[in-house]
Amino acid sequence: MSKKRFHDKHHRDEPRQQVAESAVDGIGGVAAKVAAAVQPAGAYALLADYERRSLAHDPGVPEQIEAPGLWRALGFRIGEHQFVSGIDEISEILMAPPPVTSIPSTRPWLLGVANVRGNLIAVVDLKQFLFDQRTHVTGRARVLVVKQSGGNVGLLIDELLGQRNLTDADRVGAEGEADPRLARYVTENVMMGQAHLGRFSLVELTRAAEFQHAAL
């Protein structure tokens, strides 16, 4: 075949090739458009529904989330009494009472001193201090470490009840403390569900003269 005839045939076949390529591209383009129009439409509708529901559920700004007079506290039990104390009053929680070394000529509620990571702390049986009843240590017993002048002190309790959040609404109808053994430390009593909680001031406890003087 001569060069001229080959060149002419090539030019005659080129439009056919372009048409074929255009047809293939066209099918692919149509398929892509169909896929975009059909399959993603369901996903888009789902996302749009999520967006609509998210906008409908407005959590508000942090200032709106915080309830009026919110007071974060830890709940704990001593015998049959349930108390709450401010989280800022407790520096640490020991999940098990540590071994203690007794101190001669001290009151029975001062169990002794314990070495906690190289720091000596006095350990007090809070139930015995308040109600003159020895705490029966179980697997639920904990020690609340509280700062005081002259060093930290650990308070043995029967059980930790976890975090409690009190608001001004919870304090409506709060009662004073009738038990004279608790009157200085419990500023008020509130109801949370079925629980009767005394608001216990650990600051007042560590300041009390009878608590500071443990020697006989």
18-46 tens-digit pLDDT: 433 433 333 333 333 333 443 444 544 55
Residue type, 211: F
Residue of 36 and 100 predicted with greater confidence: 100
Q: Give the number of other Cβ atoms within 10 Å of residue 64's Cβ.
A: 9
Check if the beta carbon of residue 70 is closer than 8 Å to that of residue 170. Answer: no
pLDDT-derived band at 112, boundaries 50, 70, 90: very high
To the nearest whole percent, how much of the chain has pLDDT over 70? 69
Residue type, 6: F
CA distance 176 to 187: 7
Least confident piece of the model among 7-21, 105-119, 144-158 = 7-21
Polymer length of the chain: 216
Write out the two tokens for 143. Answer: 């020690």
Give per-residue pLDDT as tens, 132-165. 999 999 999 999 999 888 789 999 999 999 999 9
Q: Give the number of other Cβ atoms within 10 Å of residue 62's Cβ.
A: 7
Q: Give the number of other Cβ atoms within 10 Å of residue 154's Cβ.
A: 25
Q: What is the pLDDT of residue 149?
A: 80
Q: What is the pLDDT of residue 99?
A: 97
Least confident piece of the model among 86-100, 113-127, 167-181 = 167-181
Of 107, 113, 104, 102, nearest to 216 (Cα)?
A: 107
Q: Are strands 81-86 and 195-200 parallel, antiparallel or unpaired?
A: parallel
Domain range 71-212, CATH class: mainly beta
Rounded to an integer, the average pLDDT of 11-17 is 46
Of 185, 189, 212, 188, nearest to 201 (Cα)?
A: 185
CA distance 16 to 2: 22
Write out the two tokens for 95. Answer: 């999940």
Q: What is the pLDDT of residue 55?
A: 52
Check if the beta carbon of residue 166 is closer than 8 Å to that of residue 84. Answer: yes
Give per-residue pLDDT as tens, 194-207. 889 999 999 999 99
Q: What is the pLDDT of residue 11?
A: 46
Q: What is the pLDDT of residue 172?
A: 86
